[in-house]
Structure 1
Amino acid sequence: MFRIFFEDIDVGQKDAFGSYEVTKEEVIDFASKYDPQPFHLDEEVAKQSVFGALCASGWHTCAMMMRMMVDHMKDKGLAGLGSPGIDGIEWKRPVFPGDVLSIESEYTAKRDSKSRPNLGLVKSAYKVKNQKGEVVMTMRGNAMVAKRG
């Protein structure tokens, strides 16, 4: 199941992955459940907003990113054991229906866990980009990764 463990991760290592097409239906569905602001729900109202068009909630962008990350971790066989949290999220540009999102990542730090000798903690920096290469979101996150054996 797992092929990549804490010991295999190098600080500075970069990766690019994912392809997630944003749909109008998904933007409205997510917003109606979790972030019912008018510019996420109504195209006409959104045209008059600061965004100029219907756009995804930032939290929806986070959820789409999470889906791409988990799919990538499974594909690579990364021994991920969850996350103790994030250090920051920034929404840089709106995400619109029709955008295709992808991720660039870099491992920025790692250390052994003080309380759990069977795992290590890894810090990563992420950039979520649209099909034009524009950064729409950044995130600095932390992950628990299993050690071999």
Structure 2
Amino acid sequence: MRYYEDIDVGETHEFGEYHVTKAEIIEFAEQYDPQPFHTDEAAAEDSAFGELVASGWHTAAMCMRLLVDGPLYNRASMGARGVDELRWKRPVRPGDTLSIRSEVIDKRVSESDPERGYVDSLLEGITQDGDVVISWIGLGMIARRNPPEE
């Protein structure tokens, strides 16, 4: 298990492989983001994208899964305080394969709860061609191995 003390600013991880299918794009969109360019191939052809594309929220969810299976898998995660600077940079299309890259950009001990530390990480979702499709700064909370006794 990796605790706050084991994590260094600047550490990076590249992880995962998630193959995106047309059926999954449509299924997610029909339930959560039913805009025509996510649910209907013919309508999508007349959109700004010119073809069916995944919802940005679907892209975020797929990358979150890769994050949990990757860098967070063996980390003493206590959840997150939120995300900053969420950006959808390019559309994700059926047949794309996503992976993630994360970099720890800041860390500090919580002033209100010395049992946890804050670890902020830049996450990027990347296609098989190396294109960044999404990015955000995750504001993670990580348990400390040896918090000071009160």
TM-score calculated relative to the size of structure 1: 0.95
Q: CA deviation at 1:16?
A: 0.3
C-alpha distance in structure 2 between counterparts of 1:29 and 1:147, whole Å: 40
Judge conservation of contact 1:88–1:141 (CA < 8 Å) in 2.
Answer: no
Q: CA deviation at 1:48?
A: 1.2
Counting matched residue pairs gives 145
The alignment status of 1:123 with 2:112, answered yes or no, reads no
TM-score calculated relative to the size of structure 2: 0.94
Aligned AA for 1:15? H
| RMSD of aligned residue pairs (Cα, Å) | 0.8
Aligned AA for 2:115? N
The equivalent position to 1:145 in structure 2, one of 124, 132, 142, is 142
Q: CA deviation at 1:78?
A: 0.7
The equivalent position to 1:90 in structure 2, one of 65, 83, 87, is 87
C-alpha distance in structure 2 between counterparts of 1:19 and 1:79, whole Å: 23
The equivalent position to 2:97 in structure 1, one of 97, 100, 125, is 100
The equivalent position to 1:56 in structure 2, one of 48, 54, 57, is 54
Judge conservation of contact 1:16–1:104 (CA < 8 Å) in 2.
Answer: yes
Which ranges in structure 1 are unaligned for 5 or more consecutive residues?
Answer: none
Q: CA deviation at 1:127?
A: 1.1
Judge conservation of contact 1:87–1:139 (CA < 8 Å) in 2.
Answer: yes
Percent identity of equivalent pairs = 52
C-alpha distance in structure 2 between counterparts of 1:8 and 1:29, whole Å: 39
Q: CA deviation at 1:88?
A: 1.6
Q: CA deviation at 1:47?
A: 1.0
1:78 aligns to what? 75
The alignment status of 1:20 with 2:18, answered yes or no, reads yes
Q: Deviations over 1:33-64 (max 9, x none)?
A: 11000000001111111111100000000100
Which ranges in structure 2 are unaligned for 5 or more consecutive residues?
Answer: none
